[in-house]
Structure formats: structure tokens, C-alpha cells
Amino acid sequence: MQNQTIGFIGLGVMGGGMAKNTVRKHGGQVRFFDLNAQAMADVGTAGGTTASSVAEAVRDADVIFLSLPGGKQVKQVCLGEDGIAASAKRGAVVVDLSTTTVADARAVAAGLAEKGVEFVDAPVARGRQAAIDGTLSIMVGATETLFAKVEPLLRYMATDVSLCGQVGCGQAVKLINNTLLMENITALAEMMIVGERAGVAPGVLLDVLSKGSADSFALRNHGMKAMLPRQFPAKAFPVPYAIKDLSYTMELAKDCGVHAKLPDLAMKYLERALEKGYSDEYFPVIIEVVETD
């Protein structure tokens, strides 16, 4: 495993940290590519080899990691002209760390299979700092045999790596995770404003709630660290990314014959945040929408 050649495509907010951990921990060659030259230079400080194109990055690679903005980009890189299907060797494994729709993951897997290339969907959770620290949670869709091949490599980036089922199931679990979080944040935002207007200091409210049945990961992290101090840093998980993931879940629910109503409410708040100019802010900024609308 340590002598395998790895290609890494996409060095953005999450991909940069994951690529650096891969370069530092892998004993074999790592070639990486991004359209942003500065991002490549940054990852290059950890070692590895800069590639001039997707085709060069994946040439002769045994495993190819992707960390891209969404399904459209994943399909283009995998199946487009001069992409992975046209450039990778037979038997290579593509591991997609991006968040896409379940349908996109399965379509890309089918397209690559025609060229003898295997595919794993492996979306990540826990945010930018965890990507830097190598402490992500990764949800994997793959056969058990393929999972066994890629799990040691995924552990360069993550402390938790979970097989969720066949291709597409990693994306399903990731989308459900993100949607439940957004629904929780939506409820928390509404009740924080209610509590404040009723005369309860927000800090007191969250402290007391954290000791009872309303406690949650969202309350302790997003509530206490972002919504309470009203600090919504850029490049954390901005509103457009939240909208993208939520729309993917709503599509999945529809495909599964479920009319999920709670995502609709979260989406309305996120879209309103976008209208108010909060496109770059961390998505718990929806508390500002609740307060002012």
C-alpha cells in the first residue's frame, strides 16, 4: 500500500488539508493538481509532485482522490475529455471525497467501470480544521473488498472511516448528516431569538440547554462557537455550500418517495441569507435572518 502511486485532484478548503496529510504520510509518490496555482504551491510545501493537468496527475496512479465542489465537477473530471476515464490505467481506483448526489455517484461509477476503473464515494465530515489535522469522519460507499483496499489510505486523513453500503451509500449518509445538522441549526436559531426576546441571555440559554435533553453537537459547536458570539468566518462552510448539500438531500428524498418537509424550512432560511448578502459567511448566519425578518 505504501508504494502505490496516488493522484490527488482538488486542493481547495478541504482538499488542501487532505492532500497535505496524504503527502506526509504516504510512502509512495503523490501527484496533485488544481486549477489554482497558489493552492498547488501550498500543498507542495509538504512534498509530493505538482502536475500540470488532470491527465498528468492520474497517469499510472493506482488510487486517485478527488475533492471537488460538487457533482458537476466530479462528472467532468471523471468522464470528460482528457479526464480520468480517458487517462487512468485499467484497475485504478477513484475515491471521491466530494459531496455529490447519490445519482451522480452511481452514474460516475458506471461510466468509469466501462473503462476498467473502480469507484468509491467517500464524502467527509467535520470541517476544515479536521481536514488539516487529519481527524475527519469519512463515509464510504463501496464493496467490502474495495473498502479494504482504500481504508488504510483514507486513514491518512481521518480518524473515523465507516463503510455505509454499496456505491452511493456514503453520499446518502453524508447528505442525511448535513441535513439533520441544518435542521438542528434552524431550530436553534429560532429558539435563541425567542429566548433572548423573552429576557433570557443567550449564553445562559445555551448553557442550561446543554445540561438537559435539548443538548446536541450543534448546540455545543455551532451554537456556542458561532451563533452566540455572532462570528461566522468565511471558508468554514458557507451558505451556498449548505444550499447545495440540502438540495441534494431533497432530491434524494424525492427519489425515495419521501416528502421531507423540514429541509424546506431550512432551505428557506438559507436562501434568505443569500438574498441578504451572507453568501461568504458560515451557514449558522441564518440566526441573523431569524432576528431581522
Rounded to the nearest angstrom, the gap between the alpha carbon of residue 76 and the centroid of all alpha carbons in its chain is: 18
Residue of 174, 225, 235, 268 marked catalytic: 174
Residues 39, 63 contacting (CB under 8 angstroms): no
Q: Is 235 a catalytic residue?
A: no
Question: 2: helix, coil or strand?
Answer: coil
Distance CA 104, CA 72 (A): 8
In order, the DSSP letters of 82-118 are TSHHHHSPTT-EEEE-S---HHHHHHHHHHHHTTT-E
Closest CA to 192 of 218, 157, 169, 170: 218
Residue with cell 453537537: 217
Distance CA 204, CA 187 (A): 17
Distance CA 61, CA 88 (A): 7
Q: Alpha helix locations (H) across 28-83?
A: 37-44, 54-58, 71-79
The conformational region for residue 82 under phi > 0 = left, psi -120 to 50 = alpha, else beta, is left
Distance CA 162, CA 171 (A): 12
Q: How far is CA 23 from CA 44, 49, 93, 133, 159, in A?
A: 9, 9, 18, 13, 17
> 48-77 burial by CB neighbour count: b if 16+ within 10 A, else e?
beebeebbebbbebbbbbbbbbbbebbbeb
Residues with a catalytic annotation lie at 174
